[in-house]
Amino acid sequence: AKTRHFKWEVGYIHWSTDGEESVVMGINGAFPGPTIRGRAGDIIVVELTNKLHTEGVVIHWHGIRQFGTPWADGTAAISQCAINAGETFVYRFKVDKAGTYFYHGHYGMQRSAGLYGSLIVDVAQGEREPFHYDGEFNLLLSDWWHKGSHEQEVDLSSNPMRWIGEPQTLLINGRGQYNCSMAAQFSNPRLPQCKLRGGEQYAPQILRVRPNKTYRLRLASTTALASLNLAIGGHKMVVVEADGNYVQPFSVQDIDIYSGESYSILFTTNQDPSKNYWISTSVRGREPNTPQALTLLNYLPNSPSKFPTLPPPIAPLWNDYNHSKSFSNKILALMGSPKPPIKNNRRIVLLNTQNKIDGYTKWAINNVSLVLPTTPYLGSIRYGINNAFDTRPPPDNFPRDYDVMKQAPNSNATYGNGVYMLKMNNTIDIILQNANALGKGASEIHPWHLHGHDFWVLGYGEGKFSDKDVKKFNLKNPPLRNTVVIYPYGWTALRFVTDNPGVWAFHCHIEPHLHMGMGVILAEGVHLVKNIPREALACGLTGKMLMTNKHN
């Protein structure tokens, strides 16, 4: 195993993500940030300097569990103090499991500002993937607004709330086209044909392939809002990896990918080699108002400017949830994957509601809308500091008579920052329960992401979860994931073991939803955490503690 060093400066830059110049949060002067690549067992060291001048920053390594290094999880107010303008923080952590990951800002709405990049972990030296391929590509998917992230933040926090609307552009590896289309003759409404020379910041990266080979396509979605569907014109895809875990291979025409998820798919270049093909990404689960993102699958030796004869693949209808559910249900662990314990020690049911608090629109979990404290939890719990957060634990359930199918005013929610304190080496079940949002007949998809763990997805169901549903849990080959969706008016059951001392966020990965309170905090075995770096503690009440020097 190796130690891989990176030196990064985070700063605002002018960048043309989609043909319109914006101010973007970049790393070392570029957007998206550099790809980190290592092998399982490597140590990654990122020396991060904040060049934003007027705001703090942190970076979360999404999908990396941070065993033994919970302070490197990169969550402001949870695992560390935000890195002040001008200061440097060193992230040092092990990448213990091969897979497709990414990283992103985790302070305010810095992910929406463009602070993200890919993190790819290859199998350890001498080991092999359980599938074969001749070459690989990596596509990091995101969505982009022309309105800056600070203005979006103010909009969402206003009374009445101003919704940010749908993204202007979908980006593939940080590139999209807003004023033109790659496939103008097929697009509707008609945008002019893009005239790109290829050197533009927003020109798509073309995938160059040779006929009759198998390629691995790594996909990860760091969208702020959009659920996506990706397809390769004329080609089947075989799904082999999800969130850094191998799955039982299965074949599909198109793949759904929600914010926070990653996949690897294999495709074989077995189509007419005299042609080129489209790769398209479209919005799912919300009435789309954003054109597809396109790039080209270029069969060599054809010219990349040779136009595909087929139109770009069309995504399934945005609200065809059965299509999405059937995809979710096909995802099962590869034989030989770790199995969940048969029994759980504790069950936490989390009701997801949209609420009004003093006129402000919020999301709440069991009626608590998360507002992070000023002192990061990891330090305040580790050092037993009083008054750092609400010591009353949030509820493990919601009132039995709550009707999840009905529109409700949900006027009794409160702000809170309490913690679910979990015992070490316990098996925890979490039932995510969806409900009707504030609008009539409105219930949305929420992709929930857990820090510090992978969990087994035991099942999905419709309506309100009941004890009888436990019998339907898949304990045989449930997939391990770090992100899972709840469907409108449905529930999702997951299970994990508390084997990783630290404080871990569990939240909807839609950035505006998290900003509006849609998350909870879990803590386990914090007394076992050793050697938290001082810089992670140097704010709030732990900062004061350091100054009085009682602990060092």
Phi, psi of 158 (to 5 degrees): -90, 160
Binding-site partner at residue 104 among ligand C2O, Cu ion, none, CB < 5 to 8 Å by type: ligand C2O
Q: CB neighbours (10 Å) of residue 392?
A: 9
In terms of CB distance, is 119 or 545 closer to ligand C2O? 119
How far apart CA 92 and CA 108 sit, in angstroms, is: 23
- Which residue in 27, 39, 40, 60 binds ligand C2O (CB under 6 A)? 60
In the complex, the smallest distance separating the C-beta of residue 356 from ligand C2O, rounded to whole angstroms, is 25
Binding-site partner at residue 106 among Cu ion, ligand C2O, none, CB < 5 to 8 Å by type: ligand C2O
Contact residues toward Cu ion (CB under 5 A) are 446, 508, 510, 513
How far apart CA 312 and CA 124 sit, in angstroms, is: 38
How far apart CA 230 and CA 206 sit, in angstroms, is: 15
Q: Looking only at residues 484 through 543 of this chain, which bind ligand C2O when binding is defined by CB under 6 A?
A: 505, 507, 509
In the complex, the smallest distance separating the C-beta of residue 90 from Cu ion, rounded to whole angstroms, is 32
Q: CB neighbours (10 Å) of residue 440?
A: 8
Query: By CB under 6 A, how many residues form the interface with ligand C2O?
Result: 10
Two tokens at 340? 């969940």
In the complex, the smallest distance separating the C-beta of residue 492 from Cu ion, rounded to whole angstroms, is 13
Binding-site partner at residue 228 among ligand C2O, Cu ion, none, CB < 5 to 8 Å by type: none
In terms of CB distance, is 62 or 175 closer to ligand C2O? 62
In the complex, the smallest distance separating the C-beta of residue 347 from Cu ion, rounded to whole angstroms, is 22
In terms of CB distance, is 234 or 260 closer to ligand C2O? 260
Residues 6+ apart with CB under 8 A from 506: 430, 448, 449, 450, 451, 519, 520, 521, 522
Does 65 sit near ligand C2O (CB under 6 A)? no
- Which residue in 99, 176, 244, 260 binds ligand C2O (CB under 6 A)? 260
Residues 6+ apart with CB under 8 A from 13: 23, 24, 25, 26, 29, 30, 31
Two tokens at 349? 């049911």
Distances in whole angstroms, Cα of residue 97 to Cα of each of 62, 246, 484: 13, 11, 19
In terms of CB distance, is 35 or 397 closer to ligand C2O? 35
From 336, 371, 344, 341, select the one nearest 355 (Cα to Cα): 371
Binding-site partner at residue 509 among Cu ion, ligand C2O, none, CB < 5 to 8 Å by type: ligand C2O
How far apart CA 123 and CA 70 sit, in angstroms, is: 23
In the complex, the smallest distance separating the C-beta of residue 446 from Cu ion, rounded to whole angstroms, is 3
Q: Which residue is nearest to ligand C2O (CB)?
A: 62
In the complex, the smallest distance separating the C-beta of residue 445 from ligand C2O, rounded to whole angstroms, is 16
Two tokens at 66? 């941070």
Helix (H, G, I), strand (E, B) or coil at 233: coil
In the complex, the smallest distance separating the C-beta of residue 385 from ligand C2O, rounded to whole angstroms, is 23
In the complex, the smallest distance separating the C-beta of residue 77 from Cu ion, rounded to whole angstroms, is 19
- Which residue in 451, 453, 464, 495 binds ligand C2O (CB under 6 A)? 451
In terms of CB distance, is 362 or 507 closer to ligand C2O? 507
From 83, 104, 89, select the one nearest 36 (Cα to Cα): 104
- Which residue in 62, 235, 446, 453 binds ligand C2O (CB under 6 A)? 62
Two tokens at 23? 């101010």
Q: Looking only at residues 103 through 122 of this chain, which bind ligand C2O when binding is defined by CB under 6 A?
A: 104, 106
How far apart CA 117 and CA 91 sit, in angstroms, is: 15
In the complex, the smallest distance separating the C-beta of residue 417 from Cu ion, rounded to whole angstroms, is 19
Compute the 3-state secondary structure of the chain and give helix, strand, coil in percent, each to the nearest 5: 10, 40, 50
Establish how many alpha carbons lie within 13 A of residue 382's alpha carbon, considering only the half-sphere containing its beta carbon.
Answer: 28
β 88-95/42-50 pair status: antiparallel
Binding-site partner at residue 508 among Cu ion, ligand C2O, none, CB < 5 to 8 Å by type: Cu ion
In terms of CB distance, is 95 or 279 closer to ligand C2O? 95
Binding-site partner at residue 94 among Cu ion, ligand C2O, none, CB < 5 to 8 Å by type: none
Which residues of the chain form contacts with ligand C2O (CB under 6 A)? 60, 62, 104, 106, 260, 449, 451, 505, 507, 509
